Amino acid sequence: MKKQQLFIGLISLLLFVFTLGNYSVHADMGRNISDHITNLEISDRDQGKQDTYQHGAYLNVKGTFSDQRGKIHGGDYILVNWSTQSENAHAFLQGFNGKKDLYIDGTMVATYTVDATGAKLLFNDNVNNLQNINGSFTFTVQAFNDTSNNQVLNIGSGTVNVNITMQAGASDGHEITHHQSWAGSKTGAVQSYAGKNWVNWGVYFNSNAADLTGQITFTDQIPAGLSLDPNRINIWLDGTEYIPLADFKARFPQSAIKVEGSVITATFAGTEFSGHSFSLGYLTEITDPTAVSFTNTATGSYQLAGQTPQNYDFAVTVRNVNFDASVTGTKPGELKIIKYYDENGSRKLLPGVTFEITAQTGKKWQVTTDAHGVISLKNMIAGTYFVREIAAPDWIDLDEVRNRTWQVAVLSRGEGQALEIVNHKKPAPEEPANPGEKEPPAEDNETSKVPGEKDPAEDPEVPMNSDEKEPPEEPRIPANPNEIDLPKDPEKPALPMVPELPLIGDQEPALGTKTTGKEIGLQIVPKPAEVNAAEKKERQQQATAKATAATSVNTKLPQTGAGVSLMVYGLIILVGTVLGFRRKSF
């Protein structure tokens, strides 16, 4: 009887250890390694680094990371977060949506995502056999301060944090001014809404509320890389009255708005709009995240009372937001070169660049970067190699690197470091003194491959897709192109529309009609993004430490980092106990 009780007790103890061992394995997964960020820089997208930033400014954020502070394992992640609208509805930062898978030598090792409230790099198990991992990331946030005082906002994670000062952004409203002259404009701005990135266009008509006799006509061809959403079109009359597109025809039977594919056409009858200012706003989803900018032109005509018809032409170029990331890592005996070019402060991989590589023995190779901008030579003899860039696509400025020589080390055991080189585009050509003269033909850059090396397999590019989330309230139209209003009713549904300086909060704006040189335009209303409690707590705490020895029951093998669970010991004891009892029973 006592033996049976002892046996049952041992079984219970071992089951407890078994459960605890499993728990400790899972608890050690998914570490926050945000302290691996080595640098973080912030600058105004259009004006560079500033002491203070204006309300509505687009800020470019650049960061770097490495495994110098500890090995990176599968499941580890890096977080960057910032001051959000949920923390302060009047002064905050808002990110844009993007997702990209990151590769090393054709193998996906991490996923990079950005949304309205933060950025995240998540590594998978393919990094477990790599060391000397280095990488960089970029993204854009938009800064808001709709208060009468300067505000300090924060971007950061782990041990690297940057505070930025936002200038006071509150402004007084403007009364409608009636003047018998034509005034109109077009605006646009990139906005984040419903887990996607959009360009929000706004067109202002008859901003001086002049008397009209003839009709106003309007045509807009949406450019490539954008997709028009016909359900995101609306009208504001005199800056105070919102008119959905579905109600437009009943309200103005002599006028019409028509959408065919990517083309919007409209006629506004002078008898219905004389003495009124009004605006037309519409959202276009960004379908080409790699586009640098989008240029949109609206054309049409108008006729003021007592005058002949006149044509107008509104052209606006909107810069796309910045989003990119890269990661490198090497193995023993590998010589790796990664080639980039600079695109508005963001690194882009550059294929078709030829390098001359010279060994210490004097042996030379000429190798060209593959479709991913990478040269990877395996089974190289350990030592130092000298690298020169000798040919590049004709739109790349080769002169800035022509006389430079880089050194890269190849190790026989440890993992080396990839050589990263960045080029810039050639400056815009100057007007020739003699327009009749032709440019000399570009030289033909022939390259040879490394003997015995095969062309690297080209892995399909993984497009950057927007994360789908629970959609926030719809963006809405700005009433006054020169002013930005604050929300008074956060629960009130929003109306779509936008421009150069976005609207804060959920108050319905009033469309202004007075032009003061530069119209701000129709503006989207950002809504505080919903963040689950666990992630919010983690972002606030910026937890970066591993589980302590007091809370972990795992032991590690030296150097390899392989875990040995107590579950294994428990199973051994269990088997031994069972065998012992069986022997005694016989």
Cα Rg for the chain, rounded, in angstroms? 31
Please provide the DSSP assignment of 262-299 as one string: TEEEEEE-HHHHTT--EEEEEEEEE--TT-SEEEEEEE
Which DSSP helix (H) or strand (E) runs through 98? strand 98-104
Question: Among 108-112, 187-191, 418-422, 528-532, whose mean pLDDT is lowest?
Answer: 528-532
Confidence of residue 369 (pLDDT cuts 50, 70, 90): very high
Q: What is the pLDDT of residue 12?
A: 54
Cα angle 380, 384, 388; round to 5: 95
Mean pLDDT for the chain overall: 74
- Which pLDDT does position 312 carry in this prediction? 93
Distances (CA, A) of 471 to 195, 525, 570: 7, 13, 49
pLDDT at 218 over 90: yes
pLDDT of residue 27 exceeding 80, the answer is no
DSSP letters spanning 303-324 = -BTTS--EEEEEEEEEEPPPEE
Q: Are 506 and 490 in contact (CB under 8 A)?
A: yes
Residues in CB range of 533: below 8 A, 6 or more apart: none
Is 90 exceeded by the pLDDT of residue 14? no
Spatial distance between the Cα atoms of 524 and 512, rounded to a whole number of angstroms: 15
Q: Tell me the residue type at 304.
A: L
Partners of 349 in beta bridges: 340
> Is the Cβ–Cβ distance between 155 and 464 less than 8 Å?
no
Distance CA 118, CA 35 (A): 16
Res 190 pLDDT > 70: yes
Q: What is the pLDDT of residues 35-54, one digit of tens each?
A: 999 999 999 988 888 889 98
| Host H or E run for residue 164 | strand 160-166
Q: Which residue has the higher pLDDT, 275 or 445?
A: 275
Q: How confident is the model at residue 352 (pLDDT cuts 50, 70, 90)?
A: very high
Position 555 scores a pLDDT of 34
CA–CA separation, 230 and 25 (whole Å): 51
Q: Distance (Å, rounded) from C-alpha 42 to C-alpha 569? A: 52
pLDDT band at 434 (very low <50, low <70, confident <90, very high): low
> How many Å apart are CA 427 and CA 258, to the nearest integer?
42
Structure confidence at residue 574 (pLDDT): 64
Gap between the Cα atoms of 549 and 555, Å rounded: 9
SS3 568: helix
Distance CA(539)–CA(20), nearest Å, equals: 28
What are the domain boundaries of the chain? Answer: 2-28+547-585
Sign, CA torsion 481/486/488/493: positive
Contact status, residue 554 vs residue 563, Cβ threshold 8 Å: yes
Query: How far is it, in rounded angstroms, from Cα 232 to Cα 282?
Result: 5
| Separation between Cα atoms, residue 78 and residue 72, nearest integer Å | 10
With a CB cutoff of 8 Å and minimum separation 6, the contacts of 48 are: none
Euclidean distance between CA atoms 218 and 460, whole angstroms: 42
Q: List beta partners, residue 155.
A: 82, 162
To the nearest 10 degrees (0 to 180), the angle between helices 2-27 and 566-585 is 160
With 0-12 / 13-18 / 19 or more C-beta atoms within 10 angstroms meaning exposed / middle / buried, residue 411 is middle
Asked whether the CA dihedral 389, 393, 394, 395 is positive or negative, the reply is: negative
Q: What is the mean pLDDT of residues 503-529?
A: 34
| Top-confidence range, 124-133, 508-517, 532-541 | 124-133
Query: Residue 480 and residue 509: Cα distance in Å, rounded?
Result: 7
Give pLDDT tens digits for 287-321: 998 888 999 999 999 999 989 999 999 999 999 98
